[in-house]
Structure 1
Amino acid sequence: MESKLVLYDNYRKNNGSFTYYLEARETFNSFAFGSLCESIRHLAQTSPGNREVLLQVHHVYTDILKYFIARGSAESLSQVAGLPSRPADFLDDLDKAVIQYLETCGSEETW
């Protein structure tokens, strides 16, 4: 249940979530990021193929990608406090967690 709450907090950009820190505070909070990735990986085991979870995972994932795409220049990204030196590395971690969940979903026919 805690994993669903972490995902939901990020979906709603609630205070303390990775998406909150990123958008409201322009800060890369590595603990909150790790919690988000771990919750998605955990949900692949505890809530496989859940459509509601899938939609929230997709929403959070695209919000994060849109944030970094919109800040595409090096000058703009440098304003994000705590951002790892290689943003592609943390995006790879997020992508792997999302893929792990997606693999539990099967085809659209099962929804």
Structure 2
Amino acid sequence: MKIKLLTAAVAAIATSQVFALAPTASYDLEVRVSGATAVDNQFQAYVEELCDPATLDSFYQPSDVARGFGCTVPGGSVAGIATDLDVLFMKNSSGSSAGVAPLPIKPACHF
């Protein structure tokens, strides 16, 4: 009986998700960045530095080509920003040309 109860508790925890900002949240600002994977970790570190840690959520595409971060950037932490902003940062890492190729010859790059 205890094993069944433990299994049910673990399953309930594993299937539930807690988000600081809901995935359907309306963001004040969306920041889109694309390019090579070489800067992915630096981009993530910069986002983590800007964001209030209590509000930071990370979203990853299964192929790890795209990642997103939703958070609240506290007012005053960035020059010129006086109030808190809910920001969605998105990074597409499909290659160095992903940032410039869509401009002259390809359709918009999807995140």
The TM-score by the shorter chain falls in which range? under 0.3
More helix by share: 1
TM-score of the pair, normalised by structure 2 = 0.27
Query: Radius of gyration: which is bigger?
Result: 2
TM-score of the pair, normalised by structure 1 = 0.27
Higher relative contact order (CA 8 A, sep 6+): 1
More strand by share: 2
